[in-house]
Amino acid sequence: MKRRLFISLILILMLLISFTLVFPFMGLDHSLIYVVFATIGIVLLTFYLFGGTAKFLVMFVYSLLIIFGLIILPSYQHAIIAVGTLMIILNPLSDFERYLESKLIPAETAPLTISIRGKYWPFYGYRQAMKDYVRLPQTKKLFTKNWYLKLRQLTTLLLLFTAIYLFINELKNIYIDLSNYNPLQVFTFYGVVSLFVITFILYKNGFKAMFRAAILFMFIPVIFAIWVLPISFISQIILSALVTILGISDVIHEKFLSLNRVAYNAYKYYDPDDQRHVYANEFYEPFVYNETYNIVGTYKFKCDLEGFHARFNDILFYSNRKHFMITAYTFNGKEIMMYTEFYHRHAKRAENFKVYLENLFHTRVETQIVYDKDKLIYERTFFHKTEYVVARALSLASLLKTLEVVKKELIISVVFSFKRKEDILRLSKHYYVVRMEELDESDYLAARVLIKSPNSNFAIEQKVRDLLLNALIYQANYVRILVYYEGDKQKWLKKQ
């Protein structure tokens, strides 16, 4: 994977740099021809980077067919481009591609996976989880409204077809119509790139996000149109300035909306040991064992639950701006206790949050700020408690009901760690157990326990409690629980 990344990025960088060198040393016609083939090379290298060797070879074949078709049959240019675009979208060589994948090593065929390992990476993953939850109504339509699913798929395909067709057609215009080519037509590529971007946004996030992105892309064409209109120079400057201000305002507005796109979906349960109601943050759960957010801040203050919920969205907005995570909050009938995690160099922000809460609720806030690299506070307070595990299982099952994904039985999958292989064998006499050797460490062994259950709260809770009791008997340590239907490949659900 690293080898593929290195090769493709070096070659792409070399081709991009060469664009600045060919025009001074070559004639315009030859320079434009070089730009066409270099652009095709960059596109193919992009397929190699993100799709692997097999995808690259298949796209190389399609490119050759389109190029030779345009050269041999110039009278049928548009038909050849349309057929070539359909080939790229429908991929008739998919069987050949799978054959190549079976013959090559996995590192050369697997899609590129990029892990953003910046200092705030856990927070950005947490923020994305909130955004996905905000978009849940649109996601639900994909499962419950067949017409919406078909409309979104059809629109995506039409936009993708249009973008690919226009891209190939513009490259053809540069190569074939060199004498008539207007340098201003390069601006058309801006429209093609914009079309690719909004198509991807539609595919990932739906129509609303696509329309917002389309508005952002419209400002530059409007400014361009102003400068070709037959109006005075002063008018062009004034109108361009106004459109630019509108564009910047729209970008700021979208950024504000993005920061305000917050949510909190809680694992709700009553903790009999601590005698308090718990609202643990579902969106934080995948990032419990992150390496960079190690400052834990706890904040206790007097407030009723209704008054806290009335201001809670403001707290979420504040945390989103300040890049910290709210992991849970509890209520014992008199006081609210909030649990947070901050980046390991942001102790000052943890102190400032206390001041923010005191100003927001007009009360004294008791604070404890500690460094917890091993996540022991969250483990002991929430993560490893039976009530938390049960609440997570019920929440995941409820999500399937919300999306109206209804099948006969669901699978409860629980990962445990063991110190001895004998304990795994003993537990396997009662449950279906799968070893997970790829997760083994020197001091523990990993295994997954699978249980079938109807999507009933009572049945799920009973089975999970029984399993956790048996795990305690056989000295198994809980790691994580998932709930899904057998054969379900929905990645979005399994991330929850």
Strand partners, 434: 448
Contact 289, 122 (CB under 8 A): no
Q: What is the pLDDT of residue 494?
A: 40
> What's the CATH fold of domain 266-382?
Alpha-Beta Plaits (3.30.70)
For domain 401-494, give the CATH number.
3.30.70.970
CA 456: distance to chain centroid? 30
Q: How far apart are CA 58 and CA 54, in angstroms?
A: 6
Query: Phi/psi at 328 (nearest 5 deg)?
Result: -175, 165
C-alpha pair distances (Å), 352 with each of 127, 134, 289, 295, 358: 21, 28, 25, 14, 10
pLDDT at 406: 67
The first and second tokens of residue 318, run together, are 């504040």
At residue 184, the pLDDT reads 64
Q: Could you tell me which of 114, 98, 88, 116 has the C-alpha nearest to residue 196?
A: 88
Instruction: Give the list of residues 6+ apart from residue 131 with CB closer than 8 angstroms, or none.
Output: 261
Q: Which of 119, 131, 192, 126 is nearest to 161 (CA)?
A: 192
pLDDT at 463: 93
Amino acid at 137: P
pLDDT of residue 248: 94
CB atoms inside a 10 Å sphere around CB 52: 23
**Could you give the CA distance from residue 493 to residue 133 in angstroms, rounded to a whole number?**
11
Tokens 């014992």, residue located: 332
The full length of the chain comes to: 496
Q: Domain locations in the chain?
A: 1-114, 266-382, 401-494
Distances 365 to 203, 226, 259, 295 between C-alpha atoms, Å: 45, 57, 26, 18
Mean pLDDT by 10 residues, the chain (496 residues): 78 84 72 80 86 88 91 88 92 88 75 66 92 86 87 93 90 67 68 91 89 91 85 90 94 89 94 94 92 94 94 95 95 95 94 96 95 92 93 90 75 92 91 90 90 90 93 90 71 39
Rounded to 10 degrees, what is the CA torsion of 137, 140, 145, 147? 80
Phi, psi of 405 (to 5 degrees): -90, 100
Q: How big is the chain by its Cα radius of gyration, in Å?
A: 28
Q: How far apart are CA 165 and CA 202, in angstroms?
A: 18
Domains 266-382 and 401-494 share a fold: yes
Angle at 179 between CA 177 and CA 180, to 5 degrees: 70
pLDDT given for residue 297 in this prediction: 96
pTM of the model: 0.80
**What is the C-alpha to C-alpha distance for residues 202 and 209, in angstroms, rounded to an integer?**
7
Side chain identity at 46, as an amino acid letter? T
What does the pLDDT read at residue 115? Answer: 59
Task: Tokens for 225, please give them.
Answer: 């149109």
pLDDT at 141: 86
